[in-house]
Amino acid sequence: MTTAMSETGAVRWHVLSIRDNALDEQLIEAIWGSDHEIELAHVPCGVEGLAYLQTEDRNIPNLILLAWRFQESQMSAAETLAALKADAALRPVPVIVLAGRLTPFQIQELYTNQVACVFEMPIAVEALEVVLRTLKDLWLNSARLPYEQRPSYQSEVSLTDREMKIVRLIAEDLTAKEIGFKLGISVKTVEFHRQSIRKRLGVEGIAGIIRYATRSGLIEA
């Protein structure tokens, strides 16, 4: 994870970029990161992005830039977006997907998962620079964004609906593969949620999760 921040500390906006394309990220860094009013953080994949956002006292971003294409072993853009919107604290944050050519189904899926907007990025560098500058002017100079007055993210003990379902299935002794199949998500996503659940509850291992499920009445003792 890399962060570009104003040396003067006069930061107005916190922007998180989740992308694994080095050339795109260099352009975003040059156009967005050079602005002293923007703190720009970059992570290469959804799992690292979600982990970054759940770090204690981490600034909640006012805006998130999300790539469409990731390696097959990583969470997809749709899975990352769904995980962001499942968190009550992160749900209001606009997510912009910067993609190549998408099918109508792919676009529909992103908007179903509450993406703020989808931009198909041009191939030519000059045209791409125009798009990035236009986005910056629209979203940071014209639009009003959430969390302009709230400085930090405090992780809460309460779990999301998705995490509660995973806790129940863990307590039923299902494997990550079985949980993924039952919920229609990847094994990588299940593993991320299990790690997030342990961190939020302050427990170690599956046994700690099961104890929480028992105390909370999610399963019978």
pLDDT digits (tens, 9 = 90+) for 4-14: 544 445 678 89
Higher-pLDDT residue of 191 and 220 is: 191
In this predicted model, what pLDDT tens digit does every residue of 101-113 receive, in sequence order?
899 999 998 999 8
Taking each helix axis as running N to C, give the angle between helix 187-201 and helix 176-183, from 0 to 180 degrees, rounded to the nearest 10. Answer: 110
100: pLDDT confidence band, cut at 50, 70 and 90? confident
Tell me the three state secondary structure of residue 149: coil
The residues pairing with 14 across neighbouring beta strands, listed in sequence order, are: 39
pLDDT at 217: 67
pLDDT at 155: 40
Note whether 139 and 163 are within 8 A (CB): no
Phi, then psi, of 210 in degrees rounded to 5? -65, -40
Write down all domains in the chain, each with its CATH number in brackets: 2-142 (3.40.50.2300), 161-215 (1.10.10.10)
Nearest to 63 by CA among 34, 98, 30: 98
Q: Which long-range contacts (CB under 8 A, 24 or more apart) does 189-197 make?
A: 189/75, 189/79, 189/83, 190/166, 192/47, 192/50, 192/51, 192/75, 192/83, 193/83, 193/162, 193/163, 193/166, 194/166, 194/170, 195/51, 196/50, 196/51, 196/54, 196/163, 197/159, 197/163, 197/166, 197/167
Q: Distance between the two ends of the chain, CA-based, in angstroms?
A: 42
Range ranked top by mean pLDDT from 25-29, 143-147, 178-182: 178-182
Percentage of the chain exceeding pLDDT 90? 25
Higher-pLDDT residue of 28 and 159 is: 28
pTM here is 0.65
Pairing of strands 117-120, 95-99: parallel
Higher-pLDDT residue of 214 and 88 is: 88
